[in-house]
Amino acid sequence: MRVEFLVVGQGLCGTFLSWFLHRAGKSFLVMDQNDPASSSRVAAGIINPVTGRRLAITWMAEELLPFARKTYQELGQFLDAQLIFQKNLIEFFPNPHQRELFLERVQEQNAYLHSFPEQNAFNSVFRYELGCGEIRHSFVVDVETMQARWRKFLSQQNRLLDVRFDPERLHVRAGGIEYDDIAADRILFCDGSAGIRNPFFSSLPFSPNKGEALILEIPELPPHHIYKKGFLLVPLPDENKFWFGSNYQWKFTDPAPSTEFFEQARRHLLAWLKLPYRILDHKAGIRPATLERRPFVGVHPHHEAVVILNGMGTKGCSLAPFFASGLTRHLLDNEAIMPEADVRRFSKALSR
């Protein structure tokens, strides 16, 4: 079989890259063995324009957010599903310093941070002594429905190979690649945390971290907002279901859900949430983060047939649509990739 592109991985990056290739009328195959523990299948699907304890505006927020919203709406229309929901985030201040910092940012006329007018609105639901603020233009993406429906479409179009990629079976030739009986002009690696072991890109400065979350049933909690007090409580599309997490484990030996997180999460819920809840599931996944917190996008500097779209970290829901579109334009129309994301910035490391 011959195609123009072989896409490895159907997480957020592989989904959007194959979507843009489909829209461009290109021939491609997606190789992905369905892994329920992949980071995109564990993530809450949050798009938040504010990041970190310093409440800084997310890198490129003014470009990323409208592009992401438009892309999720277009893909959702194609898949006959609503994929993105605006859910402003209610930040419950964990300490006086964080409260003062938030109010300072509000006074700076920050476009996203606002004082919440009804400070007692959540007294029956949460314990919070220091008040709360609101982060507007936050969204929740239904990642599970998006990936499942896109996967079904790929399967119906005979564009999905439900197998695990084996680098030993890949042969890079002049002008293309071969994998078993598949020949392609280029192979596009969207392999998430597996990219750390990818022989072409393992020398990149990945900084993987483990995240965990509980899936809760909370019938009495209004699903109109994302709630945050250290941990995040995120409404899911299914009625009464919420995602609760997450942590960042930079040193870990086991990718599976841990007892330590489970007990920590239960203690946090006991101290914060006043409502009865039921734990439905406990998930864990490895995020393909990077040391400099910028993605890896583009053509390998020494192998023209080998391409990467990876390293989205915790911001995958906002970064993946934008950079998948940019990479598609680069491959088809030779448009330049943003220098901060272009993988060729690591040409020296990738020559080893």
Contact by Cβ (8 Å): 70, 117:
no
As for how many domains the chain has, the answer is 2
Q: Is residue 62 part of a domain?
A: no
pLDDT in the model for residue 109: 81
Q: Is residue 261 part of a domain?
A: yes
Which of 244, 259, 287 finishes a domain?
A: 287
Torsion angle, alpha carbons of 145, 148, 153, 157, to 10: 170
Same domain for 346 and 223: no
Same domain for 113 and 6: no
d(CA 219, CA 221): 6
pLDDT in the model for residue 253: 81
By mean pLDDT, which of 78-82, 215-219, 245-249 is the weakest?
245-249
- Percentage, residues of the chain above pLDDT 90: 88
Q: Is residue 56 part of a domain?
A: no
DSSP 87-137: --EEEE-SSHHHHHHHHHHHHTT-SSEEE-S-TTTTTTTB--SS-EEEE-S
CA dist 180 to 171, 172, 272, Å? Answer: 9, 12, 54
Q: What is the pLDDT of residues 23-39, one digit of tens each?
A: 999 999 999 998 766 66
Q: Determine if the pTM surpasses 0.75.
A: yes
Same domain for 137 and 167: no
Average pLDDT, the chain: 95
Q: What is the pLDDT averaged over residues 135-160?
A: 97
pLDDT score of 190 more than 80: yes
d(CA 9, CA 194): 9
Number of Cβ within 10 Å of residue 16's Cβ equals 28
Which of 287, 306, 323 finishes a domain?
A: 287
pLDDT score of 332 more than 70: yes
Same domain for 34 and 162: yes
The residue to which tokens 């299948």 are assigned = 41
Which of 287, 313, 337 finishes a domain?
A: 287
Q: Which domain holds residue 9?
A: 2-43+144-196+293-350
Q: Is residue 271 part of a domain?
A: yes
Q: What is the pLDDT averaged over residues 121-150?
A: 97
d(CA 199, CA 169): 12
Q: Which tokens sit at 225? A: 């907002």
Q: Is residue 61 part of a domain?
A: no
Q: Is residue 168 part of a domain?
A: yes
Q: Is residue 341 part of a domain?
A: yes
The residue to which tokens 């639901």 are assigned = 125
pLDDT in the model for residue 42: 80
Q: What is the pLDDT of residues 4-17, one digit of tens each?
A: 999 999 999 999 99
